[in-house]
Amino acid sequence: MKKTLLTLFLIALSCSTFGQSSPPAAEKLAKLYPLKKIVSLYHNDWVQRYYPKRIQEFKKEPLDFGEIVFIGNSITEGGKDRGARFGINHIRNRGIAGDGTDGVLKRLDEII
C-alpha cells in the first residue's frame, strides 16, 4: 500500500513539475528578442518600420514551453490563429510580413 501511494505521489509530482516551465526573468526574456536597432539589411523601408512593432507584440505574449510555433514571413503571419484552424490550443503564430531568412534566424532564440 505504501509503495502504491509513493508511486502515485511521484507520478503526480512529476506531472506538475516537469510539464511546466518557470517563466524566465524579465532580463532573460528581453534577450530572446531582436533589438529595435537590429534590422535586416535586406528588409525594405516598410519592413524596417513594421518588424519592431511585431517584435513588441511577441514580447507581450511570450511563448510557453511545449507550444507549436509557426515562424516565417507574410504567408505565416497571414495564417492568423492556426490553433483554431487545427483544433489545437497551443499553436503560436510568429510570422512577420516581409521577413527573410536572416530575420527569422535573429528570432530563433525566442523559440529555442
Instruction: Provide the residue ranges of all domains of the chain, joining segments of one domain with +.
Output: 24-111
pTM: 0.68
Residues with Cβ < 8 Å from 42, sequence gap 6 or more?
A: 100, 102, 103
Strand partners of residue 70:
93
Distance CA(87)–CA(85), nearest Å, equals 6
Per-residue pLDDT of the chain (112 residues; tens, 9 = 90+): 444 333 333 343 333 334 445 555 667 777 777 776 656 777 888 888 898 899 999 999 999 999 999 999 999 999 988 888 899 999 999 999 999 998 899 889 888 8
Q: Which amino acid is at 63?
A: L
The enclosing H or E element of 69 equals: strand 68-72
Distance CA(111)–CA(50), nearest Å, equals 20
